[in-house]
Amino acid sequence: MEFITYEVEEMIGIITINRPKALNALNSQVLDELNETLDNVDVNVIRALILTGAGEKSFVAGADIGEMSTLTKAEGEAFGKKGNDVFRKLETFPIPVIAAVNGFALGGGCEISMSCDIRICSDNAVFGQPEVGLGITPGFGGTQRLARIVGIGMAKQMIYTARNIKADEALRIGLVNAVYPLEELIPAAKKLAETIAKNAPIAVRNCKKAINEGIDVNMDEAIVIEEKLFGDCFETEDQKAGMGNFLEKDKEKKLKVVPFQNK
């Protein structure tokens, strides 16, 4: 892989978009490599992923403007689909994904962070959807996910004005959950990932599925989704160990010793 690095630290996987000369902008090759990296994550071992960008200045400065500049209508649509397919894979990835946003998160950079379950950022982070200034719409999910995360009014304002916002404003509008000094960002992401990884893996996966699938349907259908995923946890080693530990007052029997069971 030329532009993606993937490291494993126990039960945490760290994906780094590594194209610093272009501030980690997403061209077709980066998208293909990211897709392949996700396909190769061993979800029987890894319990949470961290997604970040190489360097100290940029998470991802957007889709590659050079590559997009000569596209036809059909090619533009296909490029949008390529990005959307990878981002959807990330969004529906069976385990939680934390975006550790270490600088510019513009256009496709803001969009890829919104495909992750949780966003935290460094104090030098800048978010925005500058596309209308380039004569296009956000094309990797920005028109859909931003409104779902920060509300329709704020999303429309950000997208129509193409105005960038800094980390403190991203925190205020709920686009990120926390802001850290740059050097503390990855340690904080790892700590968060480790906290998630200590919990019952089947339950965590089912929570992700329930939240993702429930948010798109009405409440009557949503609670049925929850009921099924709740029921699915029973009779698993995790459920027996988790409840058994509580009943036996033995909190030392950590859930993490229970290997993930393929269903």
Cite the active site residues: 111, 131
List residues near ligand CAA by CB under 6 A.
Answer: 22-23, 25, 61-66, 83, 104, 106-108, 111, 130-131, 134, 138-140, 142
Which residue is associated with the tokens 């050097």? Answer: 183
Q: Which of residues 49 and 61 has its CB atom nearest to ligand CAA in the complex?
A: 61
Provide the minimum distance between the beta carbon of 64 and ligand CAA in the complex, in angstroms, as a whole number.
Answer: 4
Provide the minimum distance between the beta carbon of 106 and ligand CAA in the complex, in angstroms, as a whole number.
Answer: 4
Q: How many residues does the chain have?
A: 263
Q: Which of residues 41 and 68 has its CB atom nearest to ligand CAA in the complex?
A: 68
Provide the minimum distance between the beta carbon of 187 and ligand CAA in the complex, in angstroms, as a whole number.
Answer: 25
Please enumerate in sequence order all residues whose Cβ is within 8 A of that of 169, keeping only pairs 6 or more positions apart, or say none: none
Burial of 231 (0-12, 13-18, 19+ CB in 10 A): exposed
Number of neighbouring beta carbons within 10 Å of residue 173: 17
Q: Which of residues 52 and 206 has its CB atom nearest to ligand CAA in the complex?
A: 52
Provide the minimum distance between the beta carbon of 59 and ligand CAA in the complex, in angstroms, as a whole number.
Answer: 10
Cα of first residue to Cα of last residue in the chain, in angstroms, is: 31
Q: How is residue 70 annotated by DSSP?
A: T
Per-residue CA distances from 29 to 32, 77, 82, 90 (Å): 5, 17, 11, 17
Q: Which of residues 157 and 261 has its CB atom nearest to ligand CAA in the complex?
A: 157
